[in-house]
Structure 1
Amino acid sequence: MTNRPQGQGGKPDTEILSSPETRDNQVAPISWGEEFKATLSLAWPLVLAQLAQFSLQITDVIMMGWLGREALAAGSLAASLLHPTAVFGIGALTAVSPMVAQSIGAKDITSVRRSARQGIWVAGLVAAVIMGILYQSEVIFAWGGQMPHIAREASGYLDYAALGVFPSLGFVALRSLVTAHSETRIILVTTIASFFVNFAGNYVLMFGKFGFPALGLAGAGIATSIVQTFVFILLVLYVAFKENYRRYDIFARFWKADWPRFFEILRVGIPIGLMVMVEVAFFASAVFLMGWLGTDQMAAHTVAVQLASLAFMVPLGMSQATTVRTGLAYGARCFEGIRRAGWISVVIVGLFNSMSCASFLLFPHFLISLYLDPNDPANAVPFTLAVSYLLYAGFFQLVDGLQAMMAGALRGLSDTKIPMIIAVVGYWLCGLPISYFFGFTLGWEGEGIWLGLGIGLAVTAVALAYRFINREKLGLVDGMRPVRVAA
């Protein structure tokens, strides 16, 4: 007989839905064409969901702009703290996705249930830490040398937005479950619905409509928390009542601790969260540097970053699909499937990013005019600056897509610690010092800061690609090699 891991009470820790003989043999990979179709089928709802999610941010930025330049600057400053911390939490919960995908590939139903359930537990822990940071935002901004009145307004937004952190992370945990089952349209539907809730909440609470007081940025923070709670509840109901997920009993005996899986998610997820946070904080640090240059530079940077971030939603959605595809191949012990899943995503994103690069280089004035009115004399300086920044954003589109795909593929193999170190070196030891050197030492100001951003992305992309290419030599797939136990 084959030895099996033992859980509490001496009972088998996993419920295997295939025979040991099937698990010990590698699965033949699907063709390149089939992998292309499978990746696109999984990715397109995720990409659209990312675009819909980003539309919430665009809506917030546009409506903050209606409040004035100072409100826009305060909103950008608030985002420079909210996004890195929230993205850390999202990254940490992203560990649920490859763990569930690997379990599905291995046909291990109990492991799927454990990962999804403990993912929500981890969401609660991480949310508590993030909220504690956000409630100290005014102190943090003062330490960063930001203008007091801008910092005060930004903190007012964050005090309310912090309430939505746990629902947003709980949503990520459940999203990982349904995504690993290649069921992504529900993610798209909930995200689109959240757009309308967010717009209505902003309109009513920011500007004081229908008898509500005009709360400004604080109203936007309240609307953000309402939206996050709304989408989390929708996905909870979907997983609780959809037939496909009833066999997992995710919410049955939910209060019962499963510490081994809880800490396993933290072990895999914290490096992912740190890696993603390092990248986002790298871009957020540029906001601080721009804040030293003035309000016009910060406003211009905000617009250029919004456009670059919008283009990045496609690679971001694709990277989620890549994690699932490589995770499924890893769980099924298919070496060739891992290779094809990784490189198919690079090809798809490379084609898209070539087009986004061309649009940034050829039509910068048109794109900037979507945010800033070029006929308004008050926008003359920030408009010109934003155009120059967007040209730099165009040049780093290709390396940005490559680093996202390679990071997603490595996560599917549960390889997270070294990629985190690569991100720290690429962004903070290379990119940020270069941004400061060119921006302030050489006096290139905003353009120098953007040059450093591009170099940081390039260094990280090359290092991650090297690691994925040499995954077998580096021992990243040793855990999937067949191990037979004597009878």
Structure 2
Amino acid sequence: MYPTKTLQEKIRLFMIILIPILITQVSMYAMNFFDTIMSGKAGAADLAGVAIGSSLWVPVQMGVVGILMAMSPIVAQLTGAKEADKIPFTVQQGMYLSIALGVVVSIVGAFLIDPILSMMDLEDRVRHVAKYYIITIGLGMIPFFIYNLLRSYIDGLGHTRISMAIILISLPLNILFNYIFIFGKLGLPAFGGIGAGIASALTFVINFLLSIWIVHYVRPFREHRIFRNFLKPALKEWLSQLRLGIPIGFSIFFEVSIFSAVTFMLSVYSTNTIAAHQAAINFASFLYMIPLSIAMTLTISVGFEVGAKRFIDAKAYSYLGILSGVMIAFVAGAILYIFDDQVARLYSENPEVISLTKQFLFYAIFFQFADAFGAPVQGILRGYKDVNITFWMSLFSYWLIGLPSGWILANYTSLDAFGYWLGLIVGLSAGAITLFGRMQYLQKKMINKFS
């Protein structure tokens, strides 16, 4: 990161940071994308099982990753304030915190998997795949959390191409592992959807090892000497990071888990309906990586300018990011509308699943716009370290507006299962509007205070 003066310079730096993050996020989600597609080729029950398993794993995964994402604005602001000497201690404590969170999630998950799955009306094969998909992917949980902590540190310094390089190395390996474990190659049994969990866990370990090697040996990271002179865990620093990270993590959790809640509610429908819902949500989430990447870029660029107390520049980056997100939403919507049949056939050869997937994709067009507007605003607020209010706004918009309205539409109108998706549109739109209002208030306050 470096200071910019003109809009042209800002656009150039914004794109330098954004493009590697975008490639990284798309590639990371491609792992889930290929998990879903390749599991679907193993059968509708395997696809539905991975859908249920992902619905339990992904909100927890993204919630913890959200907590660890606090490292990006912390590092960006320390860099902008020319206090880089504090970074090594901060990153080391973040790694300790990553391990602690992984242990807690593992223990809690061990007690909750069976009770939660037992509450759902699932076919035996679907329940079996879901359970062991979660167990196998969980084996790579702690390496995955440490990797994301180190990635947030690397990205916070503005070196987003490093994260891109790591994921571009591991993605082909993940596809290969999927092929081996899902379909039973090299003399191994065909695990079906469970094999996708095994493949993901192995990929998480590879990402973890690559990130450690880069931080230890590659400039400029090696100059921080992260893996030399380890200090003891400092609970005070953990609490400091958690105060920033927990609201971020829970905001992400509330947004992601609403999709999981819809999947659970759809469990009363047929296996084909669950499979179609998962296929559509998987592809829509794939497109969501674009506004999410813009949000992560804004956290870094806005955080850097806020750390240096250049609030006019922070505001300029903010609107540049929002405009980019809205423009891309039109492209994403067009893709969903024009190529709905081709997208549906990626996931299944079952005519009923294809037909249902196409109908779900139509609703996905509309919440792409809410995501494209709301996600960048969340990234901006994280750059300001203004995270507590976004936590409450996310809870209210997604769970007190979106989910109840979806349940009403599904159960008291002719929309049936599609009513839940219309509820998602309502919740995401409410969240985007309220967060935008908070952003405008905060920017005006900061500019008036320091101008």
**TM-score (norm. length: structure 1):** 0.88
Question: Which residue type is aligned with residue 436 of structure 2?
Answer: A
Note if 1:273 corresponds to 2:283.
Answer: no
Q: Whole-Å Cα distance in 1 between the matches of residues 164 and 390 of structure 2?
A: 29
Note if 1:126 corresponds to 2:101.
Answer: yes
Identity in percent = 28
State the shift of 1:477 in Å: 7.7
Question: Which residue type is aligned with residue 324 of structure 1?
Answer: I
Question: Which residue type is aligned with residue 198 of structure 1?
Answer: N
Note if 1:465 corresponds to 2:440.
Answer: no
State the shift of 1:193 in Å: 1.4
* Aligned equivalent of 1:413: 384
Question: Which residue type is aligned with residue 97 of structure 1?
Answer: S
Q: Is the 8 A contact 2:312 2:447 kept in 1?
A: no
Question: Which residue type is aligned with residue 281 of structure 1?
Answer: S
User: In the TM superposition, what are the counterparts of 1:394-405 in structure 2 within 5 Å?
Assistant: 394-405=365-376
Q: Secondary structure at the match of 1:247?
A: helix
User: In the TM superposition, what are the counterparts of 1:69-88 in structure 2 within 5 Å?
Assistant: 69-88=44-63
Note if 1:214 corresponds to 2:185.
Answer: no
Change in Cα spacing, 1:171 to 1:44, as seen in structure 2 (3 Å) is same
Q: Whole-Å Cα distance in 2 between the matches of residues 270 and 317 of structure 1?
A: 20
Q: 2:271 aligns with which of 278, 289, 295?
A: 295
Change in Cα spacing, 1:218 to 1:300, as seen in structure 2 (3 Å) is closer
User: In the TM superposition, what are the counterparts of 1:211-360 in structure 2 within 5 Å?
Assistant: 211-360=187-336
State the shift of 1:227 in Å: 0.5
State the shift of 1:382 in Å: 2.0
* Aligned equivalent of 1:138: 114
Note if 1:31 corresponds to 2:15.
Answer: no
Q: Whole-Å Cα distance in 2 between the matches of residues 110 and 103 of structure 1?
A: 9
State the shift of 1:451 in Å: 0.4
Question: Which residue type is aligned with residue 461 of structure 1?
Answer: A
Q: Whole-Å Cα distance in 2 between the matches of residues 130 and 96 of structure 1?
A: 20
Note if 1:57 corresponds to 2:32.
Answer: yes
Q: Is the 8 A contact 2:102 2:145 kept in 1?
A: yes
Q: Whole-Å Cα distance in 1 between the matches of residues 3 and 253 of structure 2?
A: 37
- The RMSD of aligned alpha carbons is 1.9
State the shift of 1:274 in Å: 0.5
Q: Whole-Å Cα distance in 2 between the matches of residues 368 and 300 of structure 1?
A: 8
Note if 1:112 corresponds to 2:87.
Answer: yes
* Aligned equivalent of 2:406: 435
Note if 1:41 corresponds to 2:41.
Answer: no
Q: Is the 8 A contact 1:319 1:408 kept in 2?
A: yes
State the shift of 1:195 in Å: 1.2
* Aligned equivalent of 1:485: none
Q: Secondary structure at the match of 2:82?
A: coil
State the shift of 1:481 in Å: 5.0
- Residue-by-residue CA offset, 1:127-177 (whole Å, 9 max, x unaligned): 112222432312211124444442222111111111111111111111112
Change in Cα spacing, 1:67 to 1:456, as seen in structure 2 (3 Å) is same
- Residue-by-residue CA offset, 1:338-362 (whole Å, 9 max, x unaligned): 1011111111111111111122223
Q: Secondary structure at the match of 2:191?
A: coil
State the shift of 1:255 in Å: 4.7
Change in Cα spacing, 1:133 to 1:181, as seen in structure 2 (3 Å) is same
Q: Is the 8 A contact 1:403 1:461 kept in 2?
A: yes
- Residue-by-residue CA offset, 1:81-137 (whole Å, 9 max, x unaligned): 000000011000000000000000001012222222111111111111222243231
Q: Whole-Å Cα distance in 2 between the matches of residues 472 and 196 of structure 1?
A: 42
Q: Whole-Å Cα distance in 2 between the matches of residues 160 and 359 of structure 1?
A: 34
* Aligned equivalent of 1:18: none
- Residue-by-residue CA offset, 1:163-214 (whole Å, 9 max, x unaligned): 1111111111111121122211121111111112212222222222112233
Q: Is the 8 A contact 1:114 1:258 kept in 2?
A: no
Q: Is the 8 A contact 1:49 1:191 kept in 2?
A: yes
State the shift of 1:28 in Å: 7.9
State the shift of 1:282 in Å: 0.4
* Aligned equivalent of 1:6: none
Question: Which residue type is aligned with residue 439 of structure 2?
Answer: F
Q: Whole-Å Cα distance in 2 between the matches of residues 285 and 62 of structure 1?
A: 22
Q: 1:204 aligns with which of 180, 183, 197?
A: 180
Provide structure 2 residue ranges, at least 5 long, that are not aligned to the other structure: none
- Residue-by-residue CA offset, 1:392-422 (whole Å, 9 max, x unaligned): 1112222111110000000011111110110
Q: Is the 8 A contact 1:323 1:412 kept in 2?
A: yes
Q: Is the 8 A contact 1:87 1:277 kept in 2?
A: yes
Q: Whole-Å Cα distance in 2 between the matches of residues 355 and 75 of structure 1?
A: 29
When structure 1 is superposed on structure 2, of 75-84 and 136-145 the one drifting more is 136-145
When structure 1 is superposed on structure 2, of 226-235 and 152-161 the one drifting more is 152-161
Question: Which residue type is aligned with residue 321 of structure 1?
Answer: T
Count of residue pairs brought into register by the alignment: 449
User: In the TM superposition, what are the counterparts of 1:436-451 in structure 2 within 5 Å?
Assistant: 436-451=407-422
Provide structure 1 residue ranges, at least 5 long, that are not aligned to the other structure: 1-26, 374-378, 483-487
Q: Secondary structure at the match of 2:188?
A: coil
State the shift of 1:55 in Å: 1.2
Q: Secondary structure at the match of 1:54?
A: helix
More helix by share: 2
Q: Secondary structure at the match of 1:243?
A: coil
**TM-score (norm. length: structure 2):** 0.95
State the shift of 1:29 in Å: 5.7
User: In the TM superposition, what are the counterparts of 1:142-181 in structure 2 within 5 Å?
Assistant: 142-181=118-157
Q: Whole-Å Cα distance in 2 between the matches of residues 220 and 390 of structure 1?
A: 24
Q: Whole-Å Cα distance in 1 between the matches of residues 193 and 337 of structure 2?
A: 33
Q: Whole-Å Cα distance in 2 between the matches of residues 145 and 255 of structure 1?
A: 49
State the shift of 1:312 in Å: 0.6
Q: Whole-Å Cα distance in 2 between the matches of residues 369 and 443 of structure 1?
A: 26
